[in-house]
Amino acid sequence: MIQTILIYSLVFLSFAIFATIYRLIKGPTAPDRVQALDALGINLLSGVAIFSVLLRSTGFFEVILLIGILSFIGTIAFARYIERGVVIERKQSD
Amino acid sequence: MKKPNDVIIRSVTKVAVVIILTFAINLFISGHHQPGGGFIGGLAFASALILLFLAFDIETVRNHIPLDFKVVAAVGVLISVLTGVGAMLLDHPFLFQAFGYFKLPIFGKTELATAVLFDIGVALAVIGTSITIIMTIGDDR
């Protein structure tokens, strides 16, 4: 019973991932693609969580936290590149 | 052109860096029995420093963390080699690892292994290498 529910939710998550991949390929501007990458990271994170329930293993919790951290840092780096043109500034600008 | 204002990213960074550093140390400590270890712990530590570099700038972080990260990488490799050589001094083969159970004040009966020292060396080498790469790439115009 619970296995069926988990597999159904994985199927719906993969639908969501395909929708974000469509936005990633089609997206007219760069911010669209960055947001699609961020949402794809979140969907991947929840997919790993559901897999760890499905496999009855606690070995994937670090993966969940790490995907969250890396997606956050990657989104911030892209956002700074789009806004300022540089990712890491050398000196305080103001 | 308006002056950019990043008060939100700086406030979020001040909270998130503490959490990421705690998680990195947890990954490093739990490497013996759970997933984790020196490599991924060092990379999580380096990602916290990269978040600091992104929210602030290179000069500020360098003033507050006055470490030469090339020296950090070198010290890490030196620690890893010295744990192997120390086993040779005690009439064991190179890189021999020992462990024992000790009674610590707070933790009770704890397993302490010399593999942790080797892992500290690995973590320091990973931190030093990745931060050196980031600083070298990001520094010039």
B51 to A94: CB separation less than 8 angstroms, yes or no: no
The residue type of B101 is: Y
pLDDT in tens, B19-31: 999 999 999 998 8
Residues B93, B105: contact at Cβ < 8 Å?
no
pTM value surpassing 0.80: yes
- Nearest-CB residue to B50 (from A73, A90, A93): A73
**Residues A73, B118, B132, B4, Cα dihedral to 10°:** 30
- Nearest-CB residue to A88 (from B16, B35, B53): B53
pLDDT in tens, chain A (94 residues): 899 999 999 999 999 999 999 999 998 999 999 999 999 999 999 999 999 999 998 889 999 999 999 999 999 999 989 988 888 887 765 5
In this predicted structure, the answer to whether residue B13 has a pLDDT above a threshold of 80 is yes
Spell out which residues of chain A touch residue B47, defining contact as CB-CB under 8 Å: 69-70, 73
CA distance linking residue A91 with residue B2, whole number of Å = 18
Phi, psi of B34 (to 5 degrees): -125, 170
ipTM of the complex: 0.85
Phi, psi of B7 (to 5 degrees): -75, -30
